[in-house]
Amino acid sequence: MCLIKFSITLLKLKPLDFKEKYGNWAVVTGSTDGIGKEYAKELARKNLNIVLISRNLVKLNKTKDEILTLNPSITVKIIQVDFSMGKDVFDYIQTELQDLPIGILVNNVGILTEYPMYFDEISEKDLWNIMNINIASLTIMTRMIIVQMLKRNKGAIVNISSASNLLPVPLMSVYSASKIYVRYFSDAIRSEYKKTKLTIQCLSPSYINTNLINFDVSFKNRYFFPDAITYVKSAIATLGRIDSTTGYWAHDLQEFILLFIPAGLITNFVFFKHKAARKNYIKLKGKNID
């Protein structure tokens, strides 16, 4: 089923005019690395003005300069916030976005633990960080922006989930749970607003060669694990055409194959793989952990 849906993008369809279809401005959270950065660049190439939201001011300014080099005719605005701070940051964001007609919101910001961990090993601070960054940020940013989109009856919300939403992931328990939230949330509000002209898309990529996955070098530089540039060029072509997808043909193939394998076997294999990755990372870093 997923392969059939994704095959639409393999057809040489005329690219959508995002600016005309959705509006002049795009907001991208977690926009200084990986998927978020490349998504912002691709939207800039499509002549949308960009709002970059992230926590590192140096990286924000660097990304802004890179985008303006790609397209000096657009406007790039930066908002420095740390979503791990929770509720307090959103009043500031709303003030900064006031009067900007946001056409596309990309909820990309996300975090996982430093390496695969048993649940009791995760600090309470890290648990709150994962919940604030992976769940609360997406929820509140969507609530903030969707109101104005509904008034104009156009706009797109792109929520970045993960292939880990397909099943429970041992040693990444809270992260995988947060990603099934993203998928269910996206599917639910898409149904709520199906009579409008809003696009609610959920992207569920498998492993991508980014800084987020830094605990297992075996995932790097493989044909089935693209870099962020390759992934985003593929994924952005699905916006406005496919509501729920991995965003990349090889990831769709992986998902399709998984449908025929008992979930328990997959969970056990992932547990085995993550235990090995955990052990290797601990050894590499010289951590004294059993």
Q: How far out from the chain centre does Cα 251 lie? A: 15
The separation between the first and the last C-alpha atoms of the chain, rounded to the nearest angstrom, is 42
Contact residues for 140 (Cβ-Cβ < 8 A; gap 6+): 87, 90
Which runs of consecutive H residues, i.e. helices, occur in the chain?
2-6, 18-21, 34-45, 57-70, 89-97, 124-130, 137-152, 173-192, 228-235, 249-258, 263-285
CA atoms within 13 A on the CB side of 123: 6
Active-site annotation, residues:
175
Nearest to residue 269, comparing CAs of 177, 181, 183, 166?
A: 166
